[in-house]
Structure 1
């Protein structure tokens, strides 16, 4: 029988090019499974770490040496008491009578915040409205205003939805997109254009006989001629872009129909 051969010495792991070998980082005993859920509960880790062995045991802390705050110094003279106590660290000689005025970042107002829009919401995208009086309608995204609100339209001839502003959280962006070409939104269609004029709600002094003194007349909204012209300008560009598509008949019917969920249909499972 041949004598046993000596084992070869284990080779040391080669150092990396930089010359410094990184230490191996092990996995913790109680790791995160996802969404803040840990592998073991608090009571389980109490037993795994054997913390029950230390319950009730008290280890007195070592007394800390007290720092001197005063020093006793001798005083010359017969009637001066002989010694006096002097502070090692002198107190402040000046105390403000009022707090300092804090400067606040007034220039970072809400109107100057950076607006970010979802990548899927680009001009020409067909969107589904989720809130408001036109909820459920399919509309065309025309542009994004400086305030971050989306500017959408029906077109009005298809589903009676005029030019409106709406937050992006109340919109579902679909995969259907319309090529608007070189169409540019008029410069005057901004946030100030869509602001409503708040008229005074004071009751008039003159009243007819038999009229309720608490009755308030609500004026009916009538769009201006400028609003009608702008609506026609934007809608004509969208209808012209729809007419160039091969599936124009299907797209027209798609925009005219309303969105809704049947039984056993869930919005988070659908692909738009």
Structure 2
């Protein structure tokens, strides 16, 4: 040891990262989130709407639909933390959902264009986004299969069309969904 090493030393010891035993757990859906379950959306554009769960996608989001003809909710992905599962079930075995995955709902960033200054501050209207014809056909195919099953249960179509809300005096912690 030289004289300089003993004379100059760190004021505080160098930080050492802590050892952890954390392991990424596999996603496990709640027991109420099974295909065919009727869910209540809690956030987003369609909050309060009742939807039917079709399947759980590989990115751990839920594939749900209104059906569109009943309550205006299209095929869409929803995070599981923004739904309440109900005890109502619909048979979705006749609906083909094999073509829907996370890539189906991904936006095509190459076709999106930047908004020009005239569109932002001027009177020029921005171009409206056109819904792809294949998505419309997919929605109609899914709705046809679901509506045939929904019609078998009396009052189920009215239940799905009615929005969920809480009234004065309702106690959410005591409600049974």
Residues 154 and 161 in structure 1, CA contact (< 8 A), matched pair in contact too: yes
Contact 1:151 1:166 in 2 (8 A): yes
The gaps in structure 2 that reach 5 residues or longer are 1-22
Paired residue total: 152
CA deviations over 1:208-258 (Å, ceiling 9, x no partner): xxx68854853323211110011011111111111233x2xx111101110
SS at match of 2:88: strand
Match of 1:268 among 167, 173, 176: 173
Tell me, yes or no, if structure 1 residue 200 matches structure 2 residue 113: yes
Question: Could you say which residue in structure 2 is the equivalent of 1:242?
Answer: 150
Whether 1:224 and 2:129 are equivalent positions in the alignment is no
> How do 1:67-86 and structure 2 match up within 5 A?
none
TM-aligned CA distance change 1:268 to 1:212, over 3 Å: closer
Give the number of the structure whose residues are more often helix, by fraction: 2
Structure possessing the higher radius of gyration over alpha carbons? 1
SS in 1 for 2:147: helix
What does residue 81 of structure 1 align with?
Answer: none
Please name the residue that 2:69 is paired with: 157
Structure-to-structure mapping, 1:5-154, within 5 angstroms: 114-154=26-66
> 1:136 touches 1:259 (CA, 8 Å); kept in 2?
yes
CA RMSD of aligned residues (A): 2.3
1:94-117: CA deviations, max 9, x gaps? xxxxxxxxxxxxxx9x9xx73221
Residue in structure 2 matched with residue 171 of structure 1 by the alignment: 83
SS in 2 for 1:255: helix
TM-score using structure 1 length: 0.51
Asked whether 1:191 is paired with 2:102, we answer yes
* SS state at 1:228 partner: helix
TM-score normalised by L of structure 2: 0.77
Closer/same/farther in 2, CA of residues 158 and 268 from structure 1, 3 Å limit: same
Q: Which runs of 5+ in 1 are unaligned?
A: 1-107, 205-210
SS at match of 2:70: helix
SS of the residue 1:193 aligns to: helix
How far 1:137 sits from its partner (Å)?
0.5
Q: Distance in 1 between matches of 2:62 and 2:120?
A: 42
Structure 1 residues 217 and 143, CA, compared in 2 at 3 Å: closer, same or farther?
A: same
